[in-house]
């Protein structure tokens, strides 16, 4: 039943801006908000519902963490997240910064659960993280009743794209979260995600019964990421080249199947890389151990299916490789976005084949998930892979935002002019279109390629297609290259690939004109292999390393690693790389100077300051501070 507007909780009296900035500096060590953070915090404090879409690394968590600290009305900020590992990391980070927070999920011990309940009963806990299953699964009604006794001030639904059937990670239990509106009619309701098209945002508003929500959408562009797409030829050699450009750096390799994950991780370890596999078929304990090894920087490369990634907060991931195409651009944006969270340059490279999309259609059909929405998402991904224009612009416009300029200039393979335009592309196009036409426009990509390459398969001979004049017309063109041309012609709407379980190729009106030589097309071939060393390119902040003492930075990294391992938390919970860079630039020598460093608030200065200052003194050749 709809909730009347008057059921909304009253707005908090306006919080002075100086209080917000002082809180930001004290607990997070930052001196200014990132784009849209202040607006999201304001909507919460004003009692308005909201939908907040910020890219990976955009600081979504602060948008719901700060209101719980500055609102004097009390109560609990409830954070709903499907990611148990992220809950732990965020709670550890909050506690390290001096904030009382807790999580209730199946992974915590009975002692930890008793401690969280005690904090809630005593009114000490400001933020509580729970899974959606905890709220709406078995026993959820009793738990929600307990929540009412603690007083829920607001509800933040993280990874909110999971609510929408139009999104890329639809989860049925997320639909049931609408129950929260009835259980807590006076609480503000806030949806957070990194990827949501306009249609998905509208669905989130409807499904959560949000009341006149503030909708805040940040830029989907990640200018520090360099996007590349390559047709998949010799995958292991292609991956070897990428890792050669990122020796000793952290990265993720995404594969489509568990078998591919296992095989590739084993091969990488044989090649001397610190790599681990991760997929849903591994034992829970093995998955947990591998993820912790990666987050704690004991492992450099994680080879994984899409089971790995949401909530991964390691900031210094320098590359993300897709060994096969994801099923949607939403998936690709989120997975590739795990690179370069520190704002420095990172590489995102997709190795794909047209067969990837046929494979996805088959898997989705077998699972009963091949809906019109799933087909639309696959089409969007296919067009990106075969696209011949700026990758940044393509991604931003897919999410319904204007890019603001024609191209990125130097942050994708297209703008770096790494793609090679085909000689005599009109003639090549006519040969391909002629084959489609002579086949009666009744066959799919694989059959067209077999005919053009002169392969007398059973299907070809049964249909007597070896007698066609186009049979063997492009016998010297590799299969992967031919698939790339067909994808490009489809992306340029010269060819149309029909929907359904057995898609076939048709000529469009533009395709008929191109066959007659009356319309121009552009075709690009597989580029030359990329060099083993990456070209230097400025990061999003050109001065990010200006004045940084690199040796001190490495000493601080080692110190951070030792502290993290001693405390059983990931290194980024101790300090982000940006903080280490600022330390190595400023080289503070007193507690007062330490508080001027980016990312160091009062609690961390008190807790970790003496350790950090000793590292700096030792680097300068000075004796440690006497105890």
pLDDT tens, position by position, 441-453: 999 988 999 999 9
**What percentage of the chain has pLDDT greater than the value 90?**
48
- The pLDDT value recorded for residue 568 is 82
Token pair of 446, please? 């694989």
Q: In Å, what is the CA distance from 576 to each residue of 57, 299, 555?
A: 12, 18, 14
Under 8 Å CB-to-CB from 357, ≥6 apart: which residues?
325, 378, 381, 382
Which of left, alpha, beta for 454 (phi over 0: left; psi -120 to 50: alpha)? left
Q: What is the mean pLDDT of residues 586-611?
A: 91
- The pLDDT value recorded for residue 627 is 53
Q: How far apart are CA 448 and CA 450, in angstroms?
A: 5
Q: In Å, what is the CA distance from 504 to each residue of 382, 428, 429?
A: 15, 20, 18
- The pLDDT value recorded for residue 603 is 85
178 with 209: CB under 8 angstroms? Answer: yes
Residue that has been written with the tokens 């969280």 in this structure: 116
Say if residue 67's pLDDT is above 50: yes
% helix / strand / coil in the chain, to the nearest 5?
45, 10, 40
Q: Which residues of 4-27 are buried (b: 16+ CB within 10 A; e: fewer)?
A: eeeebbeebeebeeeebeebbbbb
pLDDT band at 5 (very low <50, low <70, confident <90, very high): very low
Q: What is the mean pLDDT of residues 490-517?
A: 88
pLDDT tens-place string over residues 275-318 = 999 998 999 889 888 988 998 889 999 999 987 765 567 778 99
Under 8 Å CB-to-CB from 100, ≥6 apart: which residues?
94, 119, 124, 125, 126
Q: Pick the residue with more confidence: 57 or 187?
A: 187
How many other C-beta atoms are found inside a 10 Å radius of the C-beta of residue 259?
11
| 3-class SS of residue 278 | strand
Token pair of 265, please? 């991780």
pLDDT band at 171 (very low <50, low <70, confident <90, very high): confident
- The pLDDT value recorded for residue 199 is 87
| 3-class SS of residue 392 | helix
Say if residue 262's pLDDT is above 70: yes
219 with 58: CB under 8 angstroms? Answer: no
Q: In Å, what is the CA distance from 113 to each residue of 128, 136, 158?
A: 12, 19, 22
Task: Cite the residue boundaries of each domain of the chain with CATH code 1.10.10.10.
Answer: 421-525
- The pLDDT value recorded for residue 194 is 84
Lowest mean pLDDT among 40-44, 45-49, 288-292, 506-510: 288-292
pTM score over 0.95 = no
Task: Cite the residue boundaries of each domain of the chain with CATH code 3.40.50.300.
Answer: 5-217, 225-419
- The pLDDT value recorded for residue 169 is 64
- The pLDDT value recorded for residue 324 is 94
Say if residue 141's pLDDT is above 90: no
- The pLDDT value recorded for residue 522 is 87
Q: What is the mean pLDDT of residues 217-228?
A: 92
Token pair of 99, please? 């904030």
Residue that has been written with the tokens 């210094």 in this structure: 316
Residue that has been written with the tokens 């097309």 in this structure: 521
The rounded mean pLDDT for the chain is: 87
Say if residue 3's pLDDT is above 70: no
Q: How far apart are CA 266 and CA 270, in angstroms?
A: 6
- The pLDDT value recorded for residue 534 is 46
Say if residue 168's pLDDT is above 70: no
* Helix H or strand E segment including 387: none
Please classify residue 508 by burial: count the beta carbons closer than 10 Å to its beta carbon, then call 0-12 exposed, 13-18 middle and 19+ buried. Answer: middle
**Helix/strand/coil (H/E/C) assignment for every residue in 81-133:** CCCHHHHHHHHHHHHHCCCCEEEECCCCCHHHHHHHHHHHHCCCCCEEEECHH
Q: What is the mean pLDDT of residues 237-262?
A: 94
Say if residue 328's pLDDT is above 60: yes
Measured N-to-C along each axis, helices 84-96 and 602-619 cross at an angle, to the nearest 10 degrees, of: 80
Task: Give, in words, the CATH class of 225-419.
Answer: alpha beta
Say if residue 9's pLDDT is above 60: no
Return the sign of the alpha-carbon dihedral for residues 54, 60, 64, 66.
negative
What are 193's strand-pairing partners? 53
219 with 35: CB under 8 angstroms? Answer: yes
Q: What is the mean pLDDT of residues 581-588?
A: 94
Q: How far apart are CA 22 and CA 160, in angstroms?
A: 30
Q: How far apart are CA 349 and CA 338, in angstroms?
A: 13
Q: What is the mean pLDDT of residues 490-508?
A: 85
| 3-class SS of residue 168 | coil
Under 8 Å CB-to-CB from 190, ≥6 apart: which residues?
40, 43, 44, 49, 50, 51, 52, 63, 64, 154, 155, 156, 157
Please classify residue 358 by burial: count the beta carbons closer than 10 Å to its beta carbon, then call 0-12 exposed, 13-18 middle and 19+ buried. Answer: middle
Q: Pick the residue with more confidence: 57 or 492?
A: 492
pLDDT tens-place string over residues 364-411 = 888 888 888 888 888 889 889 888 789 999 999 998 889 988 899 899
Q: How far apart are CA 461 and CA 439, in angstroms?
A: 13
Task: Give, in words, the CATH class of 421-525.
Answer: mainly alpha
79 with 160: CB under 8 angstroms? Answer: no
pLDDT band at 11 (very low <50, low <70, confident <90, very high): low
* Diameter of the chain measured on Cα atoms: 90
Q: Pick the residue with more confidence: 90 or 120?
A: 120
Say if residue 559's pLDDT is above 80: yes
Residue that has been written with the tokens 């190795």 in this structure: 351
Q: In Å, what is the CA distance from 163 to each residue of 78, 373, 469?
A: 17, 15, 53
Lowest mean pLDDT among 35-44, 112-121, 335-344: 335-344
**What percentage of the chain has pLDDT greater than the value 70?**
92
- The pLDDT value recorded for residue 538 is 41
Which of left, alpha, beta for 66 (phi over 0: left; psi -120 to 50: alpha)? alpha
pLDDT band at 433 (very low <50, low <70, confident <90, very high): very high
Q: Pick the residue with more confidence: 45 or 544?
A: 45
pLDDT band at 533 (very low <50, low <70, confident <90, very high): very low
What are 157's strand-pairing partners? 80, 191
Q: How far apart are CA 437 and CA 492, in angstroms?
A: 18
Q: In Å, what is the CA distance from 354 to each residue of 437, 446, 452, 485, 508?
A: 20, 9, 16, 10, 20
Token pair of 225, please? 């990421």
Say if residue 104's pLDDT is above 50: yes
- The pLDDT value recorded for residue 622 is 80
How many other C-beta atoms are found inside a 10 Å radius of the C-beta of residue 495?
26
CA angle 549, 550, 556 (to 5 degrees): 90
CA angle 202, 206, 207 (to 5 degrees): 115
Q: What is the mean pLDDT of residues 97-123?
A: 89
Q: Give the pairing of strands 505-507 and 101-104.
A: unpaired
Q: What is the mean pLDDT of residues 527-539?
A: 48
Token pair of 7, please? 């059921």
Token pair of 207, please? 């499904």
Token pair of 79, please? 């954070």
Measured N-to-C along each axis, helices 445-453 and 354-366 cross at an angle, to the nearest 10 degrees, of: 150
- The pLDDT value recorded for residue 567 is 86
309 with 317: CB under 8 angstroms? Answer: no
- The pLDDT value recorded for residue 49 is 95
The dotted CATH code for 550-619 is: 1.10.150.80
- The pLDDT value recorded for residue 170 is 67
Which of left, alpha, beta for 50 (phi over 0: left; psi -120 to 50: alpha)? beta
The domain 5-217 is placed in CATH, from the list 3.40.50.300, 2.40.340.10, 1.10.645.10, 3.20.20.120, at: 3.40.50.300
Say if residue 1's pLDDT is above 50: no
Q: How far apart are CA 553 and CA 132, in angstroms?
A: 40
pLDDT band at 75 (very low <50, low <70, confident <90, very high): confident
């Amino acid at each position: 039943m709809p909730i009347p507007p008057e059921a909304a909780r009253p707005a908090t009296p306006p919080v002075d801006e100086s209080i917000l900035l002082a809180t930001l500096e004290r607990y997070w060590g930052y001196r200014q908000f990132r784009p849209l953070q202040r607006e999201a915090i304001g909507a919460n404090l004003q009692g308005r519902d909201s939908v907040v879409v910020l890219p990976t690394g955009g600081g979504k968590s602060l948008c719901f963490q700060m209101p719980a600290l500055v609102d004097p009305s009390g109560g609990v900020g409830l954070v709903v997240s499907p990611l148990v590992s992220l809950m732990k990391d965020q709670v550890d980070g909050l506690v390290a910064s001096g904030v009382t927070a807790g999580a209730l999920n199946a992974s915590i011990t009975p002692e930890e659960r008793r401690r969280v309940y005690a904090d809630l009963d005593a009114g000490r806990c400001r933020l509580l993280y729970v899974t959606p299953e905890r709220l709406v699964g078995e026993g959820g009604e009793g738990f929600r009743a307990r929540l009412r006794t603690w007083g829920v001030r607001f509800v933040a639904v993280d990874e909110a794209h999971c609510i929408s059937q139009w999104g890329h990670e639809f989860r049925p239990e997320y639909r049931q979260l609408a129950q929260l509106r009835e259980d807590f009619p006076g609480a503000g309701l806030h949806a957070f995600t990194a990827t949501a098209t306009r249609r998905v945002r509208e669905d989130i508003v409807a499904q959560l019964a949000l009341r006149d929500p503030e909708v805040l959408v940040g830029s989907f562009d990640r200018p520090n990421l360099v996007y590349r797409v390559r047709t998949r030829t010799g995958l292991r050699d292609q991956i070897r080249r990428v890792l050669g450009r990122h020796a000793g750096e952290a990265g993720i390799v995404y594969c489509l199947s568990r078998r591919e994950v296992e095989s590739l991780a084993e091969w990488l370890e044989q090649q001397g890389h610190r790599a681990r596999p991760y997929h849903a078929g591994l034992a829970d304990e093995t998955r947990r151990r591998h993820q912790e090894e990666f987050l704690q920087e004991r492992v450099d490369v994680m080879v994984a299916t899409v089971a790995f990634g949401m909530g991964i907060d390691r900031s210094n991931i320098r590359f993300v490789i897709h060994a096969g195409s994801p099923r949607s651009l939403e998936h690709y944006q989120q997975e590739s976005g795990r690179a370069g969270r520190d704002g420095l340059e990172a590489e995102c490279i997709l190795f794909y084949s047209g067969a990837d999309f046929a494979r996805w259609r088959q898997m989705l059909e077998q699972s009963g998930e091949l809906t019109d929405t799933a087909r639309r998402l696959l089409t969007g991904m296919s067009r990106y892979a075969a696209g011949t224009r700026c990758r940044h612009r393509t991604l931003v416009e897919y999410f319904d935002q204007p890019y603001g300029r024609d191209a990125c200039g130097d942050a994708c393979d297209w703008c770096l002019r790494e793609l090679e335009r085909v000689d005599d592309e009109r003639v090549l196009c006519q040969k391909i279109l002629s084959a489609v036409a002579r086949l009666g426009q009744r066959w799919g990509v694989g059959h067209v390629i077999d005919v053009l390459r002169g392969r007398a398969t059973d299907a070809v001979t049964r249909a007597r297609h070896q007698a066609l004049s186009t049979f063997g017309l492009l016998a010297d063109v590799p299969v992967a290259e031919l698939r790339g041309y067909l994808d490009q012609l489809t992306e340029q709407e010269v060819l149309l690939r029909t929907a359904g379980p057995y898609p076939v190729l048709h000529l469009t009106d533009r395709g008929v004109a191109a066959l007659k030589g009356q319309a121009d097309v552009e075709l690009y071939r597989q580029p030359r292999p990329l060099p083993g060393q990456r070209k230097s390119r400025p990061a999003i902040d050109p001065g990010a390393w200006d004045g940084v003492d690199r040796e001190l930075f490495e000493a601080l990294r080692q110190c951070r690693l030792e502290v993290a391992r001693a405390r059983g938390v990931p290194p980024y919970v101790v300090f982000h790389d940006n903080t280490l860079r600022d330390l190595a630039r400023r080289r503070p020598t007193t507690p007062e100077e330490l508080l001027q460093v980016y990312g160091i608030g009062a609690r961390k200065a008190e807790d970790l300051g003496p350790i950090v200052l000793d590292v700096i003194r030792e680097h300068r050749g000075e004796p440690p501070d006497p105890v």
